[in-house]
Amino acid sequence: FGGVVELEGALLPPTVAQGQPLEYTFLWRSLGETDVDYTVFMHLIDGEGQMVTGHDAQPRGGLYPTSVWEVGERVADERAWTPDLAPGRYRVEVGLYDLATMARLPLTGGDMALGDRVALGEIEIMP
């Protein structure tokens, strides 16, 4: 993302029961110094391509902002969120943006590139 941060991986469960917390971890690596505290967004996209819900937060709940990451540092960003959704399958997309300007970091490579976000696969909300 923007030559600043790389998403090295994501640990997402394939399913979550409706009304239960979705627990997941993003595995980041700092590629360059920045003075911006980027916010991470995760969107759930329905079968018609519409974003139906999302969760935005700075890494580690704002306790470890991107502006203090050392170049080359790896950061595990554990999160939990309870999406209010009907049962079904949803595509997961993730990206970063500057909260002050709302400008998203562009992708700089990868075969799953979507411009300013990455598709991480699907999750199923179970009844």
Q: What is the pLDDT of residue 110?
A: 59
Q: What is the pLDDT of residue 91?
A: 97
Q: Going residue by residue through the chain, which has 127 residues, state the pLDDT in tens, using 9 for 90 and above.
A: 988 999 999 999 999 999 999 999 999 999 999 999 999 999 999 999 999 999 999 999 999 999 999 999 999 999 999 999 999 999 999 999 999 999 999 987 655 555 899 999 999 999 9
Q: What is the pLDDT of residue 107?
A: 87
Q: What is the pLDDT of residue 109?
A: 67
Spans of all domains in the chain: 5-126
User: How far is it, in rounded angstroms, from Cα 16 to Cα 95?
Assistant: 22
* CATH 2.70.50.60 corresponds to the domain 5-126: yes
Q: What is the pLDDT of residue 99?
A: 95
